[in-house]
């Protein structure tokens, strides 16, 4: 896994997500104590490792949740370690008649009973016109042995 570090923060890009972005990392790990780390997962969009973007809100959400799962696994976390979850949906995505029930039907199984503090924002657009949503998360995990990222 590609990792860059600052004196206090480790920046990570799990290889299975595809090539790292030149400006930002997929996640950052911040030690809160000798035994606990805060992990920030950058906003994830529905781009597969090969660069494809599926059509439709449901398929895009599933790609994003898979990407977030990869980030969680990279630091030894699960959905139960998510403390904050932010949803960004475009106005186009919100135009679904069943928007909120649709979102809930996808998120409930993935969250596995976890109920992190959350915000949902409706935005005009995201970084590329085909993106309908973007999700980011903040996670708190126990630190692994000294010298590891988490």
Count how many domains the chain has.
1
Provide the whole-model pTM.
0.90
Q: Domain range holding 134?
A: 2-142
Q: Is residue 110 assigned to a domain?
A: yes
Q: Is 87 helix (H, G, I), strand (E, B) or coil?
A: strand
Series of mean pLDDT values for 10-residue runs along the chain (150 residues): 73 92 93 96 95 96 98 96 98 89 96 97 96 98 62
Q: Is residue 149 assigned to a domain?
A: no
Q: How far apart are CA 45 and CA 61, in angstroms?
A: 8
Q: Is residue 97 assigned to a domain?
A: yes
Place of tokens 């000294």: 146
Q: Is residue 69 assigned to a domain?
A: yes
Q: Is residue 34 assigned to a domain?
A: yes
Q: Is residue 66 assigned to a domain?
A: yes
Question: What was the pLDDT predicted at 7?
Answer: 80
Q: Is residue 43 assigned to a domain?
A: yes
Say if residues 86 and 135 touch (Cβ distance below 8 Å). Answer: yes
Q: Is residue 148 assigned to a domain?
A: no
Q: How far apart are CA 88 and CA 126, in angstroms?
A: 8
Question: Would you call 140 exposed, middle or buried from its count of C-beta atoms within 10 A (0-12, 13-18, 19+)?
Answer: middle
In CATH, what number is assigned to the domain containing residue 19?
Answer: 3.30.1330.40
Question: What was the pLDDT predicted at 3?
Answer: 62
With left for phi above 0 and alpha for psi between -120 and 50, is residue 118 left, alpha or beta? beta
């Amino acid at each position: 896994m590609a990792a860059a570090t600052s004196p206090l923060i480790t920046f990570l890009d799990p290889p299975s997500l595809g090539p790292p972005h030149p400006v930002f990392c997929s996640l950052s790990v911040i030690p809160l104590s000798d035994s606990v780390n805060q992990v920030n997962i950058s906003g994830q969009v529905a781009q597969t490792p090969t660069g494809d973007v599926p059509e439709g809100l449901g398929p895009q959400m599933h790609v994003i949740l898979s990407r977030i799962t990869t980030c969680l696994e990279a630091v030894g976390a699960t959905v139960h370690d998510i403390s904050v979850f932010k949803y960004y949906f475009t106005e186009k995505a919100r135009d679904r008649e069943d928007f909120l029930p649709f979102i809930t039907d996808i998120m409930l199984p993935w969250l596995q009973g976890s109920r992190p503090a959350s915000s949902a924002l409706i935005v005009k657009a995201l970084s590329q016109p085909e993106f309908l949503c973007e999700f980011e998360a903040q996670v708190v995990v126990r630190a692994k042995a000294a010298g590891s990222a988490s």
